Amino acid sequence: MAKKENSFFVPLLLFLILCILITGLKIIKEIRKESNVFARLYIPETKIKPQLPEKIEKLPEKKRGEVAIIIDDVGWNLSIIKEIEEINKPLTLSILPKAPYSEKIVKELKGKNYELFLHLPLEPEPPSQCYDKGLIKVDMDEETIKNLFEDNVRNFLPYIKGVNNHMGSLFTTEEEKMQILLEIIKEKNLCFVDSLTNPKSCGYKIAKEMGIKTGKRDIFLDTSTKPDDINKKIDELIKIAKEKGTAIAIGHAKETTINVLKERIADFEKNGIEIVPVTRLLH
Percent of the chain with pLDDT over 70: 79
- pTM tops 0.75, yes or no: yes
Looking at residue 196, its amino acid is L
3 three-class SS: helix
Q: What is the mean pLDDT of the chain?
A: 87
Average pLDDT over residues 42-54: 41
CATH superfamily of this structure's domain 65-281:
Glycoside hydrolase/deacetylase (3.20.20.370)
pLDDT value of position 15: 64
Per-residue confidence band for 20, with pLDDT thresholds at 50, 70 and 90: confident
Q: What is the dihedral of CA 195, 110, 102, 167, to 10 degrees?
A: 0
Per-residue confidence band for 58, with pLDDT thresholds at 50, 70 and 90: very low
Question: Cα dist. 139→124, 174, 209, 240 in Å?
Answer: 12, 11, 24, 37
pLDDT value of position 57: 41
pLDDT value of position 25: 64
End-to-end CA distance of the chain: 121
Per-residue confidence band for 185, with pLDDT thresholds at 50, 70 and 90: very high
Angle formed by the axes of helices 227-244 and 255-270, nearest 10° = 40
Measured at the CA of 210, the angle between CA 138 and CA 168, to 5 degrees, comes to 30
Mind listing the pLDDT tens digit for each residue in 199-226? 999 999 999 999 999 999 999 999 999 9
Q: Is the pLDDT of residue 269 over 70?
A: yes
pLDDT value of position 62: 59
Average pLDDT over residues 121-146: 97
